[in-house]
Every structure is written in C-alpha cells, then in structure tokens.
Amino acid sequence: MRVEKLNSKKEISPQGYTREELDSELDFFLSQKLIEELFLLGEISLEEYRKIRNENMKAFAPFLAPLYQ
C-alpha cells in the first residue's frame, strides 16, 4: 500500500449557520430525545408523541428537519 500526502490549498469553510440556528437545532434534538423516552416508558401515547414532535418542528424549525422525517 502506498500513502501519498495531499497538498491541497482548498480551504474548507463552515456552512455559515448562526449561533441561533445551532441552538435551535440542539433544543429540538434534546426535546426529541425527551419525548422519545416518555413514549418508550409508556408515559405518552403514539398520537401524543406525534403531536408534540410536530409542534417542536414548528417551534424550533430545525434546519435538518428533512432528515428527521
């Protein structure tokens, strides 16, 4: 096996997300984990889980929303 060093001057830049967008994404993720746990423990029904999840999607507007569906 031969290993070669890449000499690339191409700079990798971030997507340009704001701090607020990242915070909103984290808030959605944490909320999602909480309602998942409540559902798995039998504290909420599947219907309640889906309603809460939809409301969270509206409230937090995660930019990764297409991946969550």
Sequence-ordered list of residues with C-beta below 8 angstroms from that of 49, at least 6 positions apart, any chain: 35, 36, 38, 39
Q: Where are the domains of the chain?
A: 19-62
* pLDDT of amino acid 35: 96
pTM over 0.75: no
List pLDDT tens digits, range 29-60: 899 999 999 999 999 999 999 999 989 888 88
* pLDDT of amino acid 58: 85
Q: How big is the CA angle at 36 (ends 34 and 37), to the nearest 5 degrees?
A: 65
